[in-house]
Amino acid sequence: MSNIQKKTDVILIGAGVMSATLGSLLKELVPDWEIKVFEQLPKAGEESSNEWNNAGTGHAALCELNYTNERPDGTIDISKAIKVNEQFQVSLQFWTYLVNSKLISNPQDFIMPLPHMSLVQGENNVAFLKKRFEALSTNPLFKGMNFSDDPEKLMEWIPLIMKDRVSDEPIAATKIDSGTDVNFGALTRMLFEHLNSKNVELNYKHSVKNIKRTSDGLWEVKVRNADSGTVERHTAKFVFIGSGGGSLHLLQKSGIPERKNIGGFPVSGLFMVCNNPDVVAQHEAKVYGKAKVGAPPMSVPHLDTRYIDNKKSLLFGPFAGFSPRFLKTGSLLDLLTSVKPYNVFTMLAAGAKNMPLTKYLIQQVMLSKEKRMEELREFIPNAKSEDWDIVVAGQRVQVIKDTEAGGKGTLQFGTEVVSAADGSIAALLGASPGASTAVHVMLEVLEKCFPQHMNEWEPKIKEMIPSYGISLVDNPTFLQEIKTSTEQTLGLSEKSNTLVDAPDKNKSFE
């Protein structure tokens, strides 16, 4: 065992889409800074960011009903939908910059145009969807959204879902063609390839075991090299903990006061993937339903066309469940070891408040394949068991914290940047809207941790993300310019129907 000491400017812990994005932003802003990445797995993008571990939705609130709540007076609140959509526009602009600057190529390898649809059944739900459509479709961010409650029109939009449907309940859908399917795994790998070409040191099979402050104000990261068994100590001026589900434990090890009264609630996921190319060929959209009563927002099942490894696939899910692991490759002790004297009351309060949710998630884990098929048949009435396999998705660790509105131990469904007061270390916790808003969230890391550089960096940020600091919803002409440019560069205006194939069967199907 050796004790190597190495100094650098920036350490990124974890090779997921968040570290990839932060590293890429920093390389453009300060090319001279030395960056090192430590990833415990053998490759980049193998945990939540992997294409088989998440749903690949470019979340822009085009189809997710949980971003548009009905107010007590019956009107629809679209403020959250506007926020999520604007954040996705930020990601699209940065990816456009990377492609135009030839820092990454072949955008079709990570992003494809795909209609986003919401589908509901029952009189009240149809009335809700119509009001939601009326509130959104006049907004420039949601231009092009259509609504229909005409079964013939729906048959044209979603034949696989409408065929053999016998229910007499009213049914309706909205459809918007500017939606996307994003292969966040491919994007992560591309970004790390680009970083590698810019002399960023990528250390795979290197697991970070500890983080502590040195007497000269740097951060010392203790890393175990899995191949050699050696332990290395690296110091940096700035550390980003982009370790997905592993972030909470590392944040706790850092000892910063901001780590207190924060916990994590793990939610596991499963997808059903179609192995019949004839069925796959009959669907071309992401179709989101409405969450069942008692179900958390991230468990809303959806029937998605996906483009993975340049093949068209069809996935249904994710079915949420409970597992105490914080990473798919994590330990059964993750939840237990995250409870510390300084968050135990927050965790206990969350436990007491979320008993029904935990019970729901445990019940979900116990569902047989046939029970899952019944849920799928609400979307595809004639779905056959033999056409569908189960694939294990990634883990999401939702943030638990004390809030003014929700009190002690409140479960959060968003992402959260936790940083030290002096900005020398930051961690990303939480999972939703997730990878889609990676660029927006990493800009937040820069603003929180490098306030002294922001004035100097602003012109470059604006070159990469022209809408930085500008509300797009309030500037429809500018929005249109941005949309034209991103759609053109990322190939989102034209449709590729050439990729019709069955999914890769070498994945971890159960």
Q: Which residues form the interface with ligand FAD (CB under 6 A)?
A: 13-19, 38-41, 46-49, 53-57, 59, 184, 207-208, 242-244, 246, 250, 269, 318, 327, 393-396, 428, 431, 433-436
Q: How far is CA 134 from the centre of its chain?
A: 28
Taking the complex as a whole, how short is the minimal distance between the CB of residue 40 and ligand FAD, in angstroms?
A: 4
Taking the complex as a whole, how short is the minimal distance between the CB of residue 245 and ligand FAD, in angstroms?
A: 6
Taking the complex as a whole, how short is the minimal distance between the CB of residue 320 and ligand FAD, in angstroms?
A: 8
Residue at 162: amino acid letter:
M
Taking the complex as a whole, how short is the minimal distance between the CB of residue 153 and ligand FAD, in angstroms?
A: 27
Q: Judged by CB, which is closer to ligand FAD: 113, or 246?
A: 246
Residue at 227: amino acid letter:
D
Residue at 204: amino acid letter:
Y
Q: Give the span between the Cα atoms of 243 and 218, in whole angstroms.
A: 20
Counting other chains too, the contacts that 450-459 makes at CB distance below 8 Å and 24 or more residues apart are 450/423, 451/423, 453/29, 453/30, 457/29
Q: Taking the chain, what is the end-to-end CA distance rounded to the nearest angstrom? A: 39
Q: Judged by CB, which is closer to ligand FAD: 208, or 490?
A: 208
What residues have CB less than 8 Å from 482, skipping those under 6 apart?
89, 92, 93, 466, 467, 472
Q: Judged by CB, which is closer to ligand FAD: 163, or 209?
A: 209
Q: Give the span between the Cα atoms of 320 and 364, in whole angstroms.
A: 7
Taking the complex as a whole, how short is the minimal distance between the CB of residue 116 and ligand FAD, in angstroms?
A: 11
Q: Please, where are the H alpha helices in 275-343?
A: 277-280, 334-337
Q: How far is CA 369 from the centre of its chain?
A: 26
Phi, psi (degrees; rounded to nearest 5) at 434: 75, -140
Taking the complex as a whole, how short is the minimal distance between the CB of residue 319 and ligand FAD, in angstroms?
A: 9
Q: Give the span between the Cα atoms of 287 and 155, in whole angstroms.
A: 14
The DSSP bridge pattern shows strands 201-203 and 35-38 to be: parallel
CB-nearest residue to ligand FAD? 16
Q: Judged by CB, which is closer to ligand FAD: 148, or 207?
A: 207
Taking the complex as a whole, how short is the minimal distance between the CB of residue 300 and ligand FAD, in angstroms?
A: 11
Nearest partner of 87 among 107, 67, 112, judged by Cα: 67
Taking the complex as a whole, how short is the minimal distance between the CB of residue 264 and ligand FAD, in angstroms?
A: 13
Q: Judged by CB, which is closer to ligand FAD: 264, or 434?
A: 434
Q: Judged by CB, which is closer to ligand FAD: 171, or 211?
A: 211
Q: Judged by CB, which is closer to ligand FAD: 86, or 402?
A: 86
Say if CB 196 and CB 123 are below 8 A apart: no
Q: Judged by CB, which is closer to ligand FAD: 180, or 410?
A: 180
Q: Judged by CB, which is closer to ligand FAD: 130, or 325?
A: 325
Taking the complex as a whole, how short is the minimal distance between the CB of residue 509 and ligand FAD, in angstroms?
A: 16
Nearest partner of 264 among 209, 365, 343, judged by Cα: 343
Q: Give the span between the Cα atoms of 434 and 91, in whole angstroms.
A: 12
Q: Output the six-digit token pair for 322.
A: 């409970």
